[in-house]
Amino acid sequence: MLRAMMHRGITAPVALALVASALVGCSGQSPSAPLPPLEPPVPASEPAAPPAPAPEPEPAESPPAAAEPAPSPSPDGVDLAGLLTAPVPSLCDHPPGTLSAGRLAGIPQGDGGVELPDSTVEDILAGAETTRLAAVGPSETGEPQVAAVLQCDRGGVGWPDAIVLWTRDFQLLGGFALDGLTGGGRESAEFVESAPEGGFRVGWRTTLDTDAMCCGLGSAEAVFAWRAGAVSASEVALHDGSDEVAELIRLVREGQEVPASLATRDAVDGLREVFSDGLLVRDNDVRCGEPLPWDLPQDAPALGPIPCVTTIGNDGGFVVFAVSPGEWNEYTVTEAYSPPIALTGAGPLPPRS
């Protein structure tokens, strides 16, 4: 708590009692006449000194000029500003080279480019110690390394993002295009962070089989590290809403409360109706983002943006779900629907793609 200290000066006036005895003389001066001044008079031969001039006020101190924003080193002592002029590998079939202000120079106009994301450049110029699409962290041997997302294209639409690794002094190690793991063709990175066991955890968006190429609704992640002379990936996971559908099935089957963040009331009521018919809905065979093997009736609920399906174990039927994506790896089940019995003879689900 801030406190204000107040100082109060106390002065004690000194009272002088002057006892004067005045005799009234022939001049007729009254005892009530004013007393002469206490200061001695100034001799006539010495003119009174002029009063000292008041001191001129000191000029107000000007505020210091605003300093240019300077990049700040990370806790590992690595200055992310080195990314702006870092060497980069061949990406989008462009030759390898060195960035200038975060962009690879020398590429002919109209032939695309290789560059750091705008948000990364802006954060570095603002002096940020961290940024969403770049990170500093230990390698698997404990030495600090740098990882950052690079974007590239050949003119027109963007190609999949790539993750690139450097040593702490920005010697290039290597890169990895994210579509090499998920094959969506439009992989867009969401974050880069240091992994506790070494390397870097990266999350990105990717397209599912039912997505338009422009708009990936799947969420993927992996840990990238420099191993045996190459950037390799481990702990690869794809999220498409199937985990949320399986959790909804378990909660409804067990009669537990379903969080609103997991499923809408329509989805919960629809699934409860399926269970009320005595059907055994499987939670271990949920598939999302794949085309359904048959057409639904016209009165069936809409199953977008992500359709999901699972099997009913005791009669060979199916339950279909609609899932809506939010932020990265956030999915909400919005519909649950059991097709009419006529569709139960459509055969088993095809093998997973």
Q: pTM value?
A: 0.74
C-alpha neighbours within 13 Å on the C-beta side of residue 246: 11
- In this predicted structure, what is the pLDDT of residue 352? 53
pLDDT in tens, 45-55: 444 444 445 44
Label the pairing between strands 113-115 and 144-153. Answer: antiparallel
Q: Where are the alpha helices (DSSP H) in the chain?
A: 118-125, 179-182, 242-253, 265-276
Cα–Cα distance for residue pair 188/4, rounded to 1 Å: 54
Task: Give Dmax (Cα) for the chain.
Answer: 146
- Asked if 193 and 217 count as a contact pair (C-beta separation under 8 A), the reply is no
- In this predicted structure, what is the pLDDT of residue 40? 37
Query: How far, CA to CA in Å, does 213 sit from each of 165, 186, 344, 352?
Result: 28, 7, 32, 20
Cα–Cα distance for residue pair 316/343, rounded to 1 Å: 10
Cα–Cα distance for residue pair 194/202, rounded to 1 Å: 9
> Phi/psi of residue 231, each to 5°?
-85, 120
pLDDT in tens, 286-297: 999 998 877 777
Residues of the chain with pLDDT below 50 are 1-52, 54-55, 57-69, 71, 341-346
Cα–Cα distance for residue pair 247/259, rounded to 1 Å: 11
DSSP E strands in the chain: the ranges are 87-88, 97-100, 103-104, 113-115, 134-138, 144-153, 162-167, 172-177, 188-194, 200-206, 218-227, 230-239, 287-288, 306-311, 318-325, 331-337
Taking the CB of residue 301, how many other CB atoms lie within 10 A of it? Answer: 16
C-alpha neighbours within 13 Å on the C-beta side of residue 240: 22
What residues contact residue 319 under an 8 Å CB cut-off, 6+ apart? 271, 274, 279, 281, 309, 310, 311, 312, 336, 337, 338
Taking the CB of residue 15, how many other CB atoms lie within 10 A of it? Answer: 5
- Buried b vs exposed e over 308-329: b needs ≥16 C-beta within 10 Å? bbbbbeeeebbbbbbbbbeebb
- In this predicted structure, what is the pLDDT of residue 68? 42
